[in-house]
Chains A and B, each alone.
Chain A
């Protein structure tokens, strides 16, 4: 019985690694899994077997939707927090929880096909596919094709899919059992062409259809509004906890998923409503005498929604917006996307430009006719010079991570 021993050894090694990571003050969300995978590289399928599994993927909203589903399912659920959405992160989360506990995993878009292969009994929650880190993913349509292929190989995978995103809808159409959700998506520039045949899509309001091959927006059975969530024709009152229309979409996706995992709708909604912050996002912090709210904004589609969140958090041009842009590996190494973001909407606000690529941002803001102060000190230091509260810090990933760590350290 060599194999089970190897699994046991991997568990043992992960426990040691977790202990060491916590001793160093870390949160042990990656390192234990990293070590365990060194011991047994094919550990993940073993860990996923014999428990309910929910996989959450897409360009934007993964961490938030994962946190919502986990909240709805209640304590004891295995989940990868803090956006640790690669193999070491999944393994860490799975090793930490009880062996039969349900798992809700956030999954990097490029890794979803491999994970569906490992766990075809999973429920897949497919949020959206838009341009992001193009230096790594090269083409958005190609990701959709990989999803489509994976579901064609495993059509038994149950899917909760965003009907508003043509790329997602096409990928999900390969599955037998799909729950369609009006998950939202203001950003449309990555789905001008039909993902199935390449013809230009017709768009009327929120509806979309292909005049050539007939692919069209599926009729969603789960639809969020400002005040209710309609599920199969029944309206449930919505108590919104996280700001912005994107989070109402995330909430609809999460509720549909939790329901398929056995949770009654009203209970799922009540649990999700208790969520006030997600891995450092949306929470209000006191920093150097300022009230600071941190948001992650890393690509044009995400920024479209972030601008909407900023308008909710800072009505009537109140407060200050700090924009922090880096271009390291996890941010995407090419900040050309700044020119796809409608930064014009920040005109009239107090804006501070910071981050390692503050100059790229400054040139973009100049052309958006946004007045700003450029301050290349770390985001929270730059935030301290804000003239008006609250201060919303909208940061790319590596800036966001640095800010979150600093806030966690200072309590």
Chain B
């Protein structure tokens, strides 16, 4: 595999890209490039044909109406499902995670998802917003860390496993779902920028085992965010929560 070009398909960035999701494609591409592995980022717009044979598909976060536009287009095209059948890697984040699942929450009740991951979305009593860490129990990447901002919660069924356990829980014990090479999570936006080991795990599924890469700022970022999120459970969580409630001014 390593001698061919790795195609990274960024699916509908204009619809599924609310939180800097395009960063994930840049991170994957750069980590391949630095190891001398040729790659291409294919930005697939809603009017473009979705490739059936990309190595990696990235789906990001979006608002409700764009999410359903994306869902319908992917259902009609069938290319993503074909890619998954052929063994492609899928990283589906936030709204993207919901739409690769079995059902999601539409304007008038439940709607069928693409069914690429056995995971059903329902609505939480209130939005889950804030930094969160997930202890990965599936992909051997240690702690994953990121920011979440969602109302839907997606629970794996019998055909998928949760990605890992959450800290803080915010009412839910686990995050994400994994089956085969399809990974869904609510760690939104540029999750791979904050979790270089997850980026490498996805790449290893495509190109085989990889040597660690010296990327001091990315490693430091992962360390800093983990210390803040996991460490804050023990100290100062309440004080920070209070400071967020102060009547800030803003421009």
Binding site for B on A (CB under 8 A): 29-30, 34, 62-63, 82-86, 88-89, 106, 108, 131, 133-135, 138-141, 189, 192-193, 198-200, 279, 296, 298, 328-330, 333-334, 336-340, 359-360, 362-364, 366-367, 374, 397, 400
Contact = CB atoms under 8 A, between A and B. Distances in A.
A135 B68 CA distance: 22
Nearest to B221: A359
A339 B224 contact: no
Contact of B130 (A135, A337, A360): A135
A306 B131 CA distance: 28
B247 A34 contact: yes
Contact of B249 (A89, A333, A359, A363): A89
Interface string B123-138: 0000101110000000
A185 B193 CA distance: 28
30 contacts: A63-B251, A83-B251, A85-B251, A86-B247, A89-B249, A133-B250, A135-B147, A135-B149, A139-B63, A139-B64, A141-B65, A189-B17, A193-B15, A193-B66, A193-B69, A200-B69, A329-B246, A330-B250, A333-B130, A333-B244, A334-B149, A336-B20, A337-B20, A339-B193, A359-B217, A360-B221, A363-B193, A363-B218, A374-B217, A400-B251
Interface of B: 14-15, 17-23, 26-27, 30, 46, 63-66, 68-69, 127, 129-131, 147, 149, 188-190, 193, 215, 217-218, 220-221, 224, 243-244, 246-251
Contacts of B129: 135, 138
Contacts of B244: 329, 333
Contacts of A193: 15, 63, 65-66, 69
Contacts of A333: 130-131, 147, 244
A359 B249 CA distance: 26
Given A192-B14, A333-B244, A363-B193, A83 B30 contact: no
Given A86-B247, A339-B189, A366-B217, 8 more contacts: A82-B249, A84-B249, A193-B66, A333-B130, A333-B131, A336-B20, A336-B190, A339-B193
Main SS at interface, chain B? mixed
B14 to A, nearest CB: 4
Contacts of A138: 127, 129, 149
Contact of A367 (B19, B30, B246, B251): B30
Contacts of A86: 247, 249-250
Contacts of A106: 251
A29 B247 CA distance: 13
A134 B217 contact: no
A83 B217 contact: no
Contacts of B217: 359, 362-363, 366, 374
A339 B130 contact: no
A298 B65 contact: no
Given A134-B19, A193-B15, A334-B147, A140 B63 contact: yes
A88 B247 contact: yes
A261 B117 CA distance: 58
**A131, A139, A328 — which one has the most chain B CB atoms within 10 A of its CB?**
A139
B188 A336 contact: yes
Contacts of B19: 134, 334, 336-337
Contacts of B64: 139
A265 B245 CA distance: 43
**A189, A336, A367 — which one has the most chain B CB atoms within 10 A of its CB?**
A336
